[in-house]
Amino acid sequence: MDAEIIIIGAGVIGLAIAEKISEKYSNVFIIEKHLTFGQETSSRNSEVIHAGIYYTRESLKARLCLEGKPLLYEYCNKYSVPYNNCGKLIVATSGEEIPVIEGIKQNAKAIGLDDIITIDARQIAELEPEVFAVKALWSPSTGIIDSHSLMKQFETNSINNGCQVVYGSEVTAIVKIPGGYEVSVTDADGNTFSFTTSVVINSAGLTSDKIAEMVGIREESLRIHFCKGEYFRINPPKNKLIKRLIYPVPHREMEGIGIHVTIDMGGGVKLGPDVKYLDSNVYDYRLTPSKQKDFYRSAKKFLPFLEEDDIAPEMAGIRPKIQKPGEAQKDFYIMEESDRALPRFINLIGMESPGLTSSVSIANYVRNMLNNCF
């Protein structure tokens, strides 16, 4: 074989996997269609280190988030990746919302998260004097991270381990052959070439379902639905009034967790994302300034100091969801596909939140899966 392992996709998860498996395996390649890493979901998100509050018991999302959060903090400390363990408030702004946040607390306890506490209006004011809420959940282990620095460290360590990263090259076909796979790639100049590999790891994010289709996996339950989210920033000087993450009560079926407030490592504060399923899987990062009033009204409930002209459009991102609009939240799909007669083909599909938080634990999970293949 020309390669032992190829990883398709240099987002945060693909890079984390590359670092982990290149510690043991040689002749590892990352193939990425963009000219550098993290150009899609990995760089267009809230950069939150999640506690694991919302995920269902026994799910991979819950398990890998709870395992991954301390591993990620440990990794950041080891390699000086910037982060801020700022904590998060999930706020109830009316009496009707109090039972909802208590239900969220019970779910958190059920999955093994035992540091979530309920606090009253006085305690909320001590943490965030400018926030209005009658009650809130306080999550001290939630934080934010510089995701670009994290991905750069994963890439650096992978290369130092001997992994080769091939940018500007898009996988266009995969054929099962004896002992492995023949992979066809088109480079930035339009040239197509093929090579063979023993292992394929599909970490292609928004196009992971298309990569799976190349080897004949065409399940409706694994089809990616592009779900767009837009963000507005809070303009200075009012961005200085918030020091932590502030979340409202989540949407139904966890389609999204509401227009929330996140801070970043540079002192900026943004609102979002909202939730809009796109009619087709197009990379639509256009901003919608007309949403300003909706964002303002949503945030005003718990940010009483906010005026409509205090916010402005900032960016948009796309989540790779495998649940359709209105469906219940689905789990990560991480599977070695021997049962489909595709040995050593590992799929990672539907890798949305908490993928960033779980990146190190996902890498460990895939490494163990790979070890069982040999």
DSSP state of 310: G
Six token digits for residue 157: 């360590």
> What is the model's pLDDT at position 372?
86
* Cα–Cα distance, 18 to 6 (Å, whole number): 9
Q: So what's the architecture of 3-46+148-222+329-371 in CATH?
A: 3-Layer(bba) Sandwich (3.50)
> What is the model's pLDDT at position 26?
93
> What is the model's pLDDT at position 25?
95
List CB contacts of 190: < 8 A, sequence separation 6 or more: none
* Cα–Cα distance, 70 to 323 (Å, whole number): 28
**Chain center to CA of 229:** 13
| Cis peptide, bond prior to residue 237, ω within 30 of zero | yes
**Chain center to CA of 191:** 32
> What is the model's pLDDT at position 253?
45
Residue 347 and residue 9 in contact, taking contact as beta carbons nearer than 8 Å: no
* Cα–Cα distance, 65 to 52 (Å, whole number): 6
Q: So what's the architecture of 88-140+225-321 in CATH?
A: 2-Layer Sandwich (3.30)
* Cα–Cα distance, 148 to 245 (Å, whole number): 20
Mutual angle of helices 60-79 and 359-371, in 10-degree steps: 110
> What is the model's pLDDT at position 257?
54
Sequential pLDDT tens for the chain (374 residues):
899 999 999 999 999 999 999 999 999 999 999 999 999 999 999 999 999 998 988 899 999 999 999 999 999 999 999 999 999 999 999 999 999 999 999 999 999 998 999 999 999 999 999 999 999 999 999 999 999 999 999 999 999 999 999 999 999 999 999 999 999 999 988 899 999 999 999 999 999 999 999 999 999 999 999 999 999 999 999 999 999 999 998 755 444 556 899 999 999 999 999 999 999 889 999 999 999 999 999 999 999 999 999 999 999 999 999 999 989 889 999 999 999 999 999 999 999 999 999 999 999 999 999 998 87
The domain spans of the chain are: 3-46+148-222+329-371, 88-140+225-321
Q: How far apart are the first and last CA of the chain?
A: 15
* Cα–Cα distance, 303 to 46 (Å, whole number): 19
